[in-house]
Amino acid sequence: MKPWMVVLLVIAGILCFLARWGKLVPAMGPVTTDYGRPVVVLDAGHGGEDGGAVTASGHRESDINLQIVKKMEYVMALCGVETVLTRSEDVSLHAPGAAERGERKESDLSYRADLVNNTSNAMLISIHQNQFSDPSVSGAQVFYTLGDVGRQWGESTQQALRDLVDETNTKKAKQVSEDVYLFSHISCPGLLVECGFLSNGVEASLLLTDGYQTQLSLAITGAYLHQIQMMSKATGGI
Ligand SMILES: [Zn+2]
């Protein structure tokens, strides 16, 4: 077992213990909401020939996204949350017939959207890394889907990232732009989490470590558990 797995196991145990005692969710049994029991679709952005953003040292966003998603899959499983991954390897998800690079990218995103839309009671968490021309810019930022659930979930996730990962982060959660393909092609609540800026040397170094990735995973999972508690209360479930 890798060291980060031990850390995750301990912290996730505490998280689940608190959840069982009603601090985060009233019980870890089936949660009844308008959406039924949610299934979290964990989406590691990019993959294969599409590496996404790149650090100054050449590390690809697609690999960091997948490392974080795998940690989230692990900690969510420990908390009894059902998950589905859009990809669990370094691959593009395009259809075999897609010839041009642009066609492959569209096909890849279309596959992800179909997977989300074909998953009952899905809630999407798409993990990405940011980049910007000014290398001093840093901080994780959450973008959410239109609607009360998305906004509430997005804002509490942004708060969790501030409280548990980086107290100096002044970024605010925002509604996701309509031109983000995946989010304009799904109908369930979803978050796009830009975990940090690969163009910022300090943040990029942190994002490559198991410890920081674990912190991010726990913050996002904690906010998810909080969100399903809110949804359950709103619908009188449990
Ligand atoms: Zn990206």
How does pLDDT run across 135-182, given as a tens digit for each residue?
999 999 999 999 999 999 999 999 999 999 999 999 999 999 999 999
Q: What spacing in Å lies between the alpha carbon of 61 and ligand 1's midpoint?
A: 7
Q: What spacing in Å lies between the alpha carbon of 30 and ligand 1's midpoint?
A: 33
At residue 17, the pLDDT reads 53
Q: What spacing in Å lies between the alpha carbon of 192 and ligand 1's midpoint?
A: 9
At residue 22, the pLDDT reads 47
Q: What spacing in Å lies between the alpha carbon of 136 and ligand 1's midpoint?
A: 19
At residue 213, the pLDDT reads 98
Q: What spacing in Å lies between the alpha carbon of 111 and ligand 1's midpoint?
A: 16
At residue 98, the pLDDT reads 85
Q: What spacing in Å lies between the alpha carbon of 129 and ligand 1's midpoint?
A: 5
Q: What spacing in Å lies between the alpha carbon of 233 and ligand 1's midpoint?
A: 34
**b/e per residue 46-70 (b: at least 16 CB within 10 A):** bbeebbbbbbeeebbbbbbbbbbbe
Instruction: Supply the mean pLDDT for the chain.
Output: 89
At residue 28, the pLDDT reads 42
What is the rounded distance in angstroms from the CA atom of residue 59 to the CA atom of residue 22? 40
Q: Where are the domains of the chain?
A: 38-90+101-234
The pTM assigned to this predicted structure is 0.87
What is the rounded distance in angstroms from the CA atom of residue 222 to the CA atom of residue 234? 19
Q: What spacing in Å lies between the alpha carbon of 127 and ligand 1's midpoint?
A: 8
Q: What spacing in Å lies between the alpha carbon of 231 and ligand 1's midpoint?
A: 29
CATH class given for the domain over 38-90+101-234:
alpha beta
At residue 13, the pLDDT reads 60
Q: What spacing in Å lies between the alpha carbon of 224 and ligand 1's midpoint?
A: 21
Say if residue 226 is exposed, middle or buried (CB neighbours under 10 Å; 0-12, 13-18, 19+). Answer: buried
3-state secondary structure at position 64: helix
Q: Which residues of the chain have pLDDT under 70?
A: 1-36, 236-238
